[in-house]
Amino acid sequence: MITTDEFESKRFIITGASSGIGRKIAIDLAAKGSSVLALGRNQDKLQSLKILYPEKIEIEAFDILDFSQLKLVVEKFSEKAKLDGCVHAAGINKFTPLRALNWNVFEKIMKTNLYSGIELIRLCASNKISNSGSSIVMISSVAGIKGEMGFTAYASSKGALISAVKCLALELSNSKIRVNSISPGVVETELTKSMESFYPDGIESVVKKHPGGIGNVDDISNLVQFLLSNKSRWITGSNYIIDGGYTI
């Protein structure tokens, strides 16, 4: 069980905090006493998040691909005290069948899902920014492990993220910074709802592939909290599949 004491007075950065998984993680950490910098593109949604815990949640609305701005907000947040971890939950998905492949779309997906996550790790890896013993969690996807027709770009970005985590975990081990990834199956979020039209047989055809049913944001947040906590201190470079049995 992850107690409030695990997170009291700790500091975390969460990308993709405007909605879905990122938003839930930010709320749960703030509720347990952590200070959270919530990053996202939607100012109104971030503001509604801050209202819940005004003394614990700071917000910054911008495109995560603006690396110069990302550097500024990370450095600013760490001025008061060093970070104890971060979570990269920002991500986009679009239907990218081979015969209609758009390289501009492909590149945008790779940059958002993969490049920005690596840049976040690069920034947080500095001992001026993060405490020894910090934990970094990347939200990947089972798409990076198990294929689905028409999602080449998304699957490529998420699979690459899993591989990058293994390499970065080795690089940062001397700094006592842990790096892990989580690969959820289909979770009830706004992004999932927007994908319904991608499937010829409807979203129900995908739901049926999950023996344990589709998940919710609480399922993912609970696992993230474990990986951010000291209870997972001996875990790094791992990818955790949480998918209701989809990959089996």
Is 102 a member of any domain? yes
Domain-located, residue 219: yes
Domain-embedded: residue 241: no
**What is the chain's Cα-based Rg?**
17
Judged on CB neighbours under 10 Å (0-12, 13-18, 19+), 239 is middle
Number of domains forming the structure of the chain: 1
The answer to whether residue 242 sits within a structural domain is no
Dist. CA 172–CA 130, nearest whole Å: 11
- Would residue 12 count as lying in a domain? yes
pLDDT tens digits for range 64-120: 999 999 999 999 999 999 999 999 999 999 989 999 999 999 999 999 999 999 999
Instruction: Report if residue 246 sits inside a domain.
Output: no
Question: Mind listing the pLDDT tens digit for each residue in 120-161?
Answer: 999 999 999 999 999 999 999 999 999 888 899 999 999 999
In the chain, DSSP finds a helix count (H) and a strand count (E) of 9, 7
Q: What percent of the chain has pLDDT over 90?
A: 82
Segments forming the whole domain that contains residue 42: 4-236
pLDDT at 214: 87
- What is the predicted pLDDT for the residue at 204? 72
pLDDT confidence of residue 236: 98
Tell me the C-alpha distance between 226 and 248, whole Å: 24
* Chain segment 90-103, per-residue pLDDT in tens: 999 998 999 999 99
Q: In whole angstroms, give the CA distance from residue 165 to residue 236.
A: 9
pTM: 0.93
Asked if residues 184 and 169 have their Cβ atoms less than 8 Å apart, the reply is no
Q: Tell me the CATH number at 222.
A: 3.40.50.720
Contact 4, 28 (CB under 8 A): no
Instruction: Provide the H-helix boundaries in 32-151.
Output: 43-52, 67-80, 103-110, 116-124
The answer to the question of residue 94 being in a domain is yes
- Beginning with the edge strand found earlier in the chain, give each strand of the sheet holding 11-15 in spatial order: 57-61, 35-40, 11-15, 83-88, 130-139, 178-184, 239-242
Phi and psi angles of residue 180, each rounded to the nearest 5 degrees, phi first: -140, 165
The token pair that represents 231 in the structure block: 């209870």
Asked if the structure places residue 23 within a domain, the reply is yes
pLDDT band for 200, please (50, 70, 90 cuts): low
Helix axes 152-171, 103-110, angle to 10 degrees: 30
